[in-house]
Structure 1
Amino acid sequence: MVHLLEDPALRNREAVFRDRNDAGRRLAAFMRQHSPVTEPLVCAIPAGGIPIGLELAKGFQARMFLGVVRKLKIPWNPEAGFGSMTWNGKVYLNKELVRTLNLTEEDIRQAVAETEKNIRERIEQFTGGLSIPPIHGMTVIITDDGLASGYTMKAAVEALNSENPEKIIVAVPTGSAKSVAMISGMVARMICLNLRDYYPFAVADAYQNWYDLDDDEVIRSLSLARKNQLLY
């Protein structure tokens, strides 16, 4: 069985998508041709994965939900993380890094509590506290705007696997070869249009128009999606 699908014409290229919406539409079209699925759920990782997820939901006439994943911040360097936490309370530690940093149980406990609060706030802000759909026995497509280290996606995959889906497919517009290889070993199908195997890798390099999505834009997009019955 083929676990990894890519578009060879986009291999190792940059600036191949106009923006996230263009990337999502092209990803949906590629999947319909090469990896069709029926009645999937789409799990989008905020914030960058939301435009991608909405295009997939449109393309497959599916419903989308948000898979909020946040890093556990290193106390003295909050821009970096030593693990992650998912929307359903699963905690994943980089145990080697925890040992290297000599983090205490209290350091970890405080980071988990802070991250849990942040996740609750983001879910409330973006969805009004809507619940996650039943995953058991479903085909779930997880998406983001790209895979760099891959650890956020890894946490999302493991969190969803705990809900016993029938199948998990990860579909992203762009990704590093190392991260794509890691994730492809965890899921039924890995789809990455723009695979790049050189270093350094940046998700942004795949896009002509790249910027960080702010919360107001995310909320407007989700409000429109809700009116169009694309949100679970």
Structure 2
Amino acid sequence: MRTFIDRSDAGRRLAEELASRASGAYERGVILGLPRGGVPVAAEVAHVLDAPLDVLVVRKVGAPGQEELALSAVGEEGATARNDDLIRASGISSADLAAREAVQREEVERRATLFRPGRAPVPMEGRTAIIVDDGIATGATMRAACAIARARGAARVVVAVPVAAPDALEQLPDVDEVVCLHAPRTFMAVGMHYIDFRQTSDAEVIELLAQPR
């Protein structure tokens, strides 16, 4: 069952796969790690592809009483992506939705300041956004991240992960490419595919993002 030693090992192997199929496809790409566990993986990818590394801070905005049902998502630079069909079906008012988005936007700004103190996000407009995480279980956070990347002007969106649940990969909307090393039919949890899956700390994320590239 164990597939990767740790997140760095997973990142190196994912980077090798991306490099083997690059052939110019990822020129002007920016590597975006989802905090926190996706950043060590993304750092290895950025090193091999010689691409800028950044963090993609995104927050889902859940429906009242159903927080995992993402009505919208918010990200930095005022980016917002909404699921109009779910919003209508939920019956939530515009005022209530705006209030819930405001709460999550504050958290986005807090985390962005924590992870990237004094630095602006890497520009995404017109570029290939390669979104990296340590794995995908339900896909809810990754779907939100893809929507925010589009909202911030990414020309192409690539999802790159070491391991994922097959059904979660099938539910990724509006993605130009998916690169996944391992999608077992018997998937149960991301951590089961790592020998070392200890929690990534905020300090580790900050250190990785601060390294010159």
Question: What is the TM-score of this pair, normalised by structure 2?
Answer: 0.84
Q: CA RMSD in A?
A: 2.5
Q: Distance in 2 between matches of 1:72 and 1:152?
A: 11
* 1:198 alignment partner in structure 2: 186
Match of 1:159 among 127, 133, 148: 148
Question: Which amino acid in structure 1 is aligned with residue 203 of structure 2?
Answer: D
| Residue 56 (structure 1) aligned to one of 18, 38, 45 | 45
2:10 to 23, 29, 54: 23
User: 1:97 deviation in Å?
Assistant: 8.3
Residue identity (%): 27
Q: Which residue of 2 aligns with 1:90?
A: 80
Q: Aligned to 1:116, what secondary structure does the other structure show? A: helix
Q: Residue 128 of structure 2 aligns to which amino acid in structure 1?
A: T
Provide closer, same or farther for how the CA distance between residues 159 and 74 of structure 1 changes in structure 2, counting only shifts above 3 A: closer
Look up the equivalent residue of 2:174 and give its one-letter code.
M
Residues 16 and 116 of structure 1: CA distance in aligned 2, closer, same or farther (over 3 Å): same
Residue 144 of structure 1, CA deviation: 0.9
- Deviation at residue 125 of structure 1 after TM alignment: 0.8
1:217 to 191, 197, 204: 204
1:186 aligns with 2:174: yes
Q: Distance in 2 between matches of 1:176 and 1:159?
A: 22
Q: What are the ranges of 5 or more consecutive residues in structure 1 without an aligned counterpart?
A: 1-13
Any residues of structure 2 matched to 1:108-123 within 5 Å, and which?
108-123=97-112
Query: How many angstroms apart in 2 are the aligned matches of 1:125 and 1:136?
Result: 23
Task: Using the TM superposition, give the Cα deviation of residue 124 of structure 1 relative to its aligned residue in structure 2, in angstroms.
Answer: 0.6
- Number of aligned residue pairs: 208
Cα distance in 2 for residues equivalent to 1:63 and 1:222:
10
1:58 deviates by 0.2
Deviations 1:131-163 (A, max 9, x none): 223323322211111111112212222222234
Deviation at residue 16 of structure 1 after TM alignment? 0.3
What is the CA-CA distance between 1:175 and the residue it aligns to? 0.7
TM-score (norm 1): 0.78
Please, which moves more after superposition, 64-73 or 113-122? 64-73
* Aligned AA (1:191): V
Q: Return the alpha-carbon distance in structure 2 between the equivalents of residues 26 and 17 of structure 1.
A: 9
Cα distance change of structure 1 residues 181 and 129 upon mapping to structure 2, 3 Å threshold = farther
